[in-house]
Amino acid sequence: MRNRGISGFGIIVLMIILIVLGYAGYQVLRLYLTYGSVTEKVEQAIRVGPTMSDQEVINQLLRDAKENNVQLDPDSIFVDRSVDDSLRIYVAYDDSSDIFGALTIRRHFVVDKIKAIKKM
């Protein structure tokens, strides 16, 4: 008996399975890539935050999130200057990913950064 390998139909089925798995993996990975981008924007905001008002920090984060297609609620962004010589920015948001309309993955993300402010 000779083994001829995988048939043309088998290759097509295998390619379809790999494409579907790749797409589903991308949709899940996209959530975490977006989270990393939002975290980076919060870190940038906390670096320049001492020179800005609270509302300016919130507006900057909202603009940056909109560029990344993330819907942030201004009420979910908290800028805290209550502790002397420190700045804290807290951002909470929900993100979801839809896989072929059959499965929706929802995650709640929180970014909480604190930075000491050096006084001159």
Residue 22: what pLDDT? Answer: 94
pLDDT in tens, 12-25: 999 999 999 999 99
Residue 62 domain-assigned (yes or no): yes
Q: Give the pLDDT confidence of 39-88 residue by residue, as tens digits.
A: 999 999 998 888 888 899 999 999 988 888 888 888 899 998 888 888 89
Least confident segment among 5-9, 69-73, 108-112: 5-9
Domain-embedded: residue 1: no
Q: What is the DSSP letter of 109?
A: E
- pLDDT band of 120, cuts 50, 70, 90: low
pLDDT of residue 68: 82
- Say if 22 falls within a structural domain: yes
In the predicted model, is pLDDT for residue 3 greater than 70?
no
Considering the domain boundaries, does residue 76 fall inside one?
yes
Residue 84 CA: distances (Å) to CA of 47, 52, 95, 116: 16, 16, 33, 9
Task: Determine contact, residues 59/39, Cβ cutoff 8 Å.
Answer: no
Q: What pLDDT was estimated at residue 1?
A: 56
Tokens of 95: 């993100």
16, part of any domain:
yes
- Residue 106 pairs in a beta bridge with 96
Domain membership flag for residue 14? yes
The range of the structural domain enclosing residue 50 comes to: 8-116
Domain count, the chain: 1
SS (H, E, C) 77-97: EEEECCCCCEEEEEEEEEEEE
Q: Does any domain span residue 2?
A: no
